[in-house]
Chains A and B, each alone.
Chain A
């Protein structure tokens, strides 16, 4: 016989529940049959979530001295908060209320009224058995450090950093490359407006570089993250630049004088060269160059020093002795905007990239038509001089393909249309776009498609089978032949062209998993960071205090990336303004007297909440880091770890309750052995 006084409330939800479950019968039954379990009041009501319904509960708590409440209604994901708040108003700890989902799990999914009613009763029995084991809980409060770390200096990170800095709070912007700017700095034009990427990006880069509230840490990487929401301690490795930022004026003479030419696989996408001491591009922020030790003659052979010799500053800016520095910073929130990698089309040999000279990737093409690129914006073949007379653009390279990436990269259609337009505009060549589906959702995108159609670009609906130089017919000699089924006419076509552009997929960063682990956030198998809710919480993560923005979360175009950067910043600003944060008290904790120090649980927590005290040989859980999953609770062979709100006693009691009846409603409890 329970000592608790439990109230049971069965909602009709209009007819949503009542049309299948005999709610009146359920309420009467609960009062009579669950009296031993502590039920003193049981009622049914048209809409429990209405203010009248809530008042019903509040009145009962006061009148009948209820110590526990069970609401049988919709899913707790909808109204748990409502009923908890109602209990709280009546002076009952909100965590002493339990919801039973008899709408989503009973009336909406079952048709047989009798069996559905039986199931509803059993579920209520489970709820009642469970709720008597509930404990009153108080939320945890943590203070919020007003500083923010933004990881990644692409357009998403820049946007987020500026929003926060402009609001008057300090930001650390960490970027692993020598400059901020990200992929956007490599592009020529941006769709659909055809703005010059550099024209709109560089002012923002300069703002970020000069902002009094932004500490720029380029050529740097986050080494480790300790602490928790409101109070992270982040260790950043500032890689040696071999150029003193305190004295360098960014004059660029060292770059001019450096005798070593290096193929630039990064910024120029392998299509151009840089020096061994370099700045990825003239407008780089910060302006200081960096020495690439792998290719620098001094670092390789101990001789040269041309850069140092010609450096005009006093003292000399070149410092070959510089070492990596480790900087510790304290922040309250973190925004991850680490971007994407481009799919390597060498993985699809039938498209010939790497073997056939005139097959280009989308990024190569961006550099090719960029006025600041290796050809000064001339669209030419690999020989560097010939203008193509015909160009094929292949969509979905490495996207929408289960063998590579089964998702749609989202941007390739628009990007390919942009390429088609640029080729047409600058060379007048025949342009063929090969696509599976044309995806031009969002503002002004389809209009752009219309415009490109008007320009006379050919569209062939069909995923290209192969690109080959194996000619069969005279017209094919010396050309790249694109073999494809034109699905509109249902026939195989072989279209000879001079140049092929592969619209390659956007992929997660190669080290996304490690980064996710470092920050303790969830990452899909592919490597995209997982947001807290795909629709309703798209920039927060499951880890409190860590937010995502831009392509690190999934492929997206520039407008969405900027919007996400701003959204993440807004979330962080909201947190900073709160100054203090209340955390859900669903947490695990160790009962020290029961802990044998076996260390089974020590590796269970991806959030590093579990600490082992060597001196006392016992384990402890940091409640601020614990996310409440309960994995360590289930792992402990001594039951020395308990989880609030999901304790073993609660679950075991719920199982008992649920198994009060069989499906037909016959009691089975007494059949079970002692």
Chain B
């Protein structure tokens, strides 16, 4: 006698929709993205909302519609200042800010951010993170000069002459980076974390 299994596995193997992908790759439990009722509380609350290509609300509608590329090319999440106003106001308790981070990761990983009008933002994040990886602490001068030299060379000079100098003068900026003692340990941890990330992505495809 053959037993017909209940086809749960078949369901599990179906390709993930963009919506599912975003939901599953957002840490900290279900971000409730599917619960969005398009009320616009997020877009209305967002301090940088007026400067976004699409309001967060619209981004969610586009995710639902599977407009993957358009979403990942948007500047919306790069203009997110992580103030969490939308998140505490959302009547459906969608974890909007956390979803913005997920979109940032995807946009960087898949290279779409270069098409965004906020294409500098990921570089800023990366430059910042590079310093942290290298020294274990952030390094403002290095960050400012390296990032600005790459993106706003003129600003960099202005910065060096203006704000940077003022910061240095007021004793508010280090000339050399500070390092933590056990850098080897940090590197080992971060390498392993990266490895886990990659394994995770390989397993589910396209995620995290």
Contact = CB atoms under 8 A, between A and B. Distances in A.
Contacts of B85: 465
A485 B91 contact: no
Contact of B49 (A111, A403, A492): A492
B49 A485 contact: yes
Interface stretch (A337-345, A456-464, A646-654): A456-464
B45 A462 contact: no
Nearest to B52: A492
Contact of A484 (B4, B40, B92): B40
B67 interface: no
Interface in A448-493: 461-466, 483-487, 490-492
Contact of A486 (B40, B42, B45, B93): B40
B1 interface: yes
B99 interface: no
A401 interface: yes
Given A114-B1, A465-B89, A664-B1, A487 B45 contact: no
A463 B44 contact: yes
A350 interface: yes
Contact of A463 (B1, B3, B91): B91
Nearest to A665: B1
Nearest to A465: B44
A436 B39 CA distance: 5
A110 to B, nearest CB: 10
What is the predominant secondary structure among interface residues of chain B facing chain A? Answer: loop
B37 interface: yes
A490 B54 contact: yes
Contacts of A396: 91
B142 interface: no
B1 A465 contact: no
Contacts of A485: 40-44, 49, 55, 57
B3 A402 contact: no
B46 interface: yes
A112 interface: yes
Given A111-B4, A112-B4, A401-B91, A490 B44 contact: no
The interface centre, meaning the residue of A466, A485, A490, A664 with most chain B CB atoms within 10 A of its CB, is: A485
A492 B54 contact: no
A400 interface: yes
Interface string B105-124: 00000000000000000000
The interface centre, meaning the residue of A111, A112, A484, A492 with most chain B CB atoms within 10 A of its CB, is: A492
A463 B50 contact: no
Nearest to A112: B4
B39 to A, nearest CB: 4
Nearest to B47: A492
Contacts of A402: 91-93
A492 B1 contact: no
A131 to B, nearest CB: 31
Interface string B76-103: 0000000001000101110000000000
Chain B: interface size category: 20 to 34
A464 B44 contact: yes
A462 B39 contact: yes
Contact of B44 (A112, A114, A403, A462): A462
Contacts of A664: 1, 3
A492 B76 CA distance: 13
The interface centre, meaning the residue of B44, B50, B91 with most chain A CB atoms within 10 A of its CB, is: B44
Contacts of B38: 487
Interface string B39-78: 1111111100110001101100000000000000000000
A145 B143 CA distance: 85
Contact of A483 (B4, B42, B44, B92): B44
Given A485-B40, A486-B40, A403 B1 contact: no
Interface residues of A, number: 26
Contact of B50 (A436, A464, A487, A491): A491
Contacts of A111: 4
B4 A463 contact: no
The interface centre, meaning the residue of A115, A462, A486, A664 with most chain B CB atoms within 10 A of its CB, is: A462
Nearest to A487: B40
Contacts of B49: 485, 492
A119 to B, nearest CB: 13
Given A111-B4, A487-B57, A466 B45 contact: yes
A412 B57 CA distance: 24
Contacts of B55: 485, 487, 490-492
A436 B37 contact: yes
The interface centre, meaning the residue of B4, B85, B89, B91 with most chain A CB atoms within 10 A of its CB, is: B91
A490 B4 contact: no
A31 B20 CA distance: 52
B89 A492 contact: no
Contacts of A466: 44-45
A483 B43 CA distance: 10
Given A462-B39, A487-B40, A487-B43, A492 B58 contact: no
Nearest to B4: A112
Contacts of A115: 3-4
Contacts of B37: 400, 436
A64 B50 CA distance: 83
Contact of A490 (B39, B41, B58, B89): B58
Nearest to A435: B39
Contacts of A112: 3-4
Nearest to B44: A465
Interface in A488-522: 490-492
A464 B41 CA distance: 6
Interface in B104-150: none
Interface string A386-404: 0000000000100011110
Nearest to B41: A463
B40 A461 contact: yes
A495 to B, nearest CB: 11
A237 to B, nearest CB: 40
A651 B4 CA distance: 31
A465 B44 CA distance: 5
Contacts of A464: 41, 44
A436 B46 CA distance: 18
Nearest to B56: A485
B43 A490 contact: yes
Interface string A646-673: 0000000000000000001000000000
Contacts of A486: 40
Contacts of B92: 402
Interface string A264-295: 00000000000000000000000000000000
A403 B54 contact: no
9 contacts: A115-B4, A401-B91, A465-B43, A465-B89, A485-B42, A485-B43, A485-B44, A485-B57, A492-B44
Given A115-B3, A401-B91, A485-B55, 20 more contacts: A112-B3, A400-B39, A402-B91, A462-B43, A463-B41, A464-B41, A465-B43, A465-B44, A465-B89, A484-B44, A485-B41, A485-B42, A485-B57, A487-B40, A490-B43, A490-B54, A490-B55, A492-B43, A492-B46, A664-B1
- The 5 A-B pairs of least Cβ separation, nearest first, read A465-B44, A485-B43, A485-B40, A401-B91, A462-B40
Interface of B: 1, 3-4, 37-46, 49-50, 54-55, 57-58, 85, 89, 91-93
Interface of A: 111-112, 114-115, 350, 396, 400-403, 436, 461-466, 483-487, 490-492, 664
